[in-house]
Chain A
């Protein structure tokens, strides 16, 4: 049984048309395809931060338009490509994101664990302004992981990383998701990583 399903012929602004796509639970699905074929847009549609002009998306058999959207986004969470961290310490960033979700901030051990998984084991008191671009991206990802969603949508999580770190990071995330029954959907350009970590692969916009 699938956890997410988008209807056949779903469109975004008449620019992009998608086939029927089913996402299976507790697995890692990779979305691949040429740039401009609508991979990132698909993740945004799944997270309901944009709406399809035609067609619909079902979550556990229910049209997401009928659900409480904020609640839905907390469960089906998109980690966007563009990183944003507050100009504070790492710990404060966890706290501020949680406060915006109207939730308690995680325990220090949970934060450190999330940072470890994302290959970002900096002290919690580190100010985010001193981190490099790639380091910021990993801290950003760790914050999202610590929220423990049901579905995690990752938009090019390895874009700013060298291949070794990318492999460790994806292996850690896959392990983390398996342990907690989290479904992951990953947009990625690197064939090597897709081969190594995908349980399922979805090709968008024809073979490249």
Chain B
């Protein structure tokens, strides 16, 4: 197996020809969002260049502090993104979400690196990319779950009110919403597992194969990261919603505040 071919900057910039084509099509047919196309690509380029510099620096100087900072930043950003998409929920609910994301994220990352791979938690080459994949999927899953929960409650106020008036306990009224939102949050992860290896080779595996790893090793990594992602999505969503829904009512007054 050969290592990956190094991209030369000149050659690399040719990839923007593809972007130009996409832009031209959008312009010719007056498809909106050209501005977003440009902003998204500029942001991606800048963010990744910075990430590249930072990673190069951290790999050369693998210090515990750097890795911890990187992890904290990653988890913080995940929490920030989830909460910014769900601004209307109450403060305690937000705290529950932040805790669920942090606890399940950290536990799964530590288990994966330390137990499954058997590497030191302070080897940036492993910790940073794997934590990135795990937290990225956590972000998508929890965002989707909480958003779905919030919106379905909003749309079902008459139902909640009628059940409350007839003497149903808030817990009983709200639990079906929790279950349904959990299922919605899990679906993308589960669906991607179902199609994996047939329709597309997943990113991590592709990356490893390109850089010369034996396909069989790449497969083992991919399977284990998928299981880890599946677990982190389910546990962080479960924590957020199952403990979060209890902040919507008060056990003394039994009134639901959504």
Contacts and interface: CB of A to CB of B under 8 A. Distances in A.
Contact of B158 (A48, A71, A74, A82): A82
Interface string A61-95: 00000000111011101111011100000000000
A178 interface: no
Contact of A84 (B159, B169, B254, B255): B159
A73 B252 CA distance: 13
A147 B166 contact: yes
A125 interface: no
A100 B173 contact: yes
B165 A100 contact: no
Contact of A74 (B161, B167, B252, B255): B167
Interface in B158-195: 158-159, 161-169, 172-173
B167 A101 contact: yes
B158 to A, nearest CB: 4
Nearest to A144: B166
B8 interface: no
B61 interface: no
A73 B167 contact: yes
A73 B161 CA distance: 12
B253 interface: yes
A69 B172 contact: no
A96 to B, nearest CB: 9
Given A83-B158, A100-B172, A73 B255 contact: no
Nearest to A101: B167
Contacts of A144: 166
Nearest to A98: B166
A97 interface: yes
